[in-house]
Amino acid sequence: MLIVGVWVAALGLGLLPAHSWHCLCALDRCSRMAPLLSRSYLAVWALSSLLVFLLMVAVYTRIFFYVRRRVQRMAEHVSCHPRYRETTLSLVKTVVIILGAFVVCWTPGQVVLLLDGLDCKSCNVLAVEKYFLLLAEANSLVNAVVYSCRDAEMRRTFRRLLCCQCLRRSTQESAHYTSSTRAGASTRIMLPENGHPLMDSTL
């Protein structure tokens, strides 16, 4: 139900400017960053996004402290392996870092949209728009860096992807060397019935 509610809200906010909440009949109310959108719509959209960001930070902060207290309590009363405790806290820390990177990358753009929606005359939003947009798009790269730094398996995966050609070349050379060795010479030791070993070399 929560997922369906999120999709309905997203579709509603996305379709509103196309049908009613636009500035085609009142050009003086158009925003500077998105000329076809009304400033009031832009302000509501940016404010709602910032509120969602704040809610996400509050929820994940509470989850982090809850898990940490839970793991500490389990360590006191139950003989759990230290590796389990480290893994659990590491996973929670990774999620918190990912969320923090998301908020840091997207919040400046939302603030600029909010200032544009509030018609801030002294704010030169067009001068910083492209930089904040680039910062928001860089969030995907930040996620890959965080995952590769925090998780050993992800580090191995990225290393395998980056060194794919080197590994493939070394594997082919090793396979070629092995096949050449097998085709070149082979030695067999046979024990006949009288117990004397015989060496048979086949070229």
The runs of H, that is alpha helices, within 78-203 are 82-117, 125-137, 139-150, 152-162, 164-184
Is 11 inside any structural domain?
Answer: no
Domain count, the chain: 1
Is 16 inside any structural domain?
Answer: no
Type and span of the H or E element at 18: helix 2-19
The model's pLDDT over 160-183, given as tens digits with 9 standing for 90+, comes to 877 876 656 666 555 554 555 454
Is 113 inside any structural domain?
Answer: yes
Residue 109 contacts by C-beta under 8 Å, 6 or more apart in sequence? 132, 133, 135, 136
The model's pLDDT over 114-159, given as tens digits with 9 standing for 90+, comes to 888 888 878 888 888 889 989 998 998 888 888 778 777 777 777 7
Which tokens go with 113? Answer: 């949209």
Q: What's the confidence (pLDDT) of residue 202?
A: 42
Q: What's the confidence (pLDDT) of residue 147?
A: 79
Which of the two residues, 166 and 1, has the higher pLDDT score? Answer: 1
Is 88 inside any structural domain?
Answer: yes
b/e sequence 144-165, b meaning 16+ C-beta within 10 Å: eebbbebeeeeeeebeeeeeee
Residues spanned by the domain of 73: 36-166
Is 75 inside any structural domain?
Answer: yes
The model's pLDDT over 37-87, given as tens digits with 9 standing for 90+, comes to 888 888 888 898 899 889 988 988 888 888 878 877 776 666 666 666 677
Is 67 inside any structural domain?
Answer: yes
User: The whole model's pTM is what?
Assistant: 0.63
- CATH number of the domain within which 43 lies: 1.20.1070.10
Q: Could you tell me which residues are beta bridge partners of residue 30?
A: 38
Q: Which amino acid is present at 164?
A: C
Q: What's the confidence (pLDDT) of residue 120?
A: 83
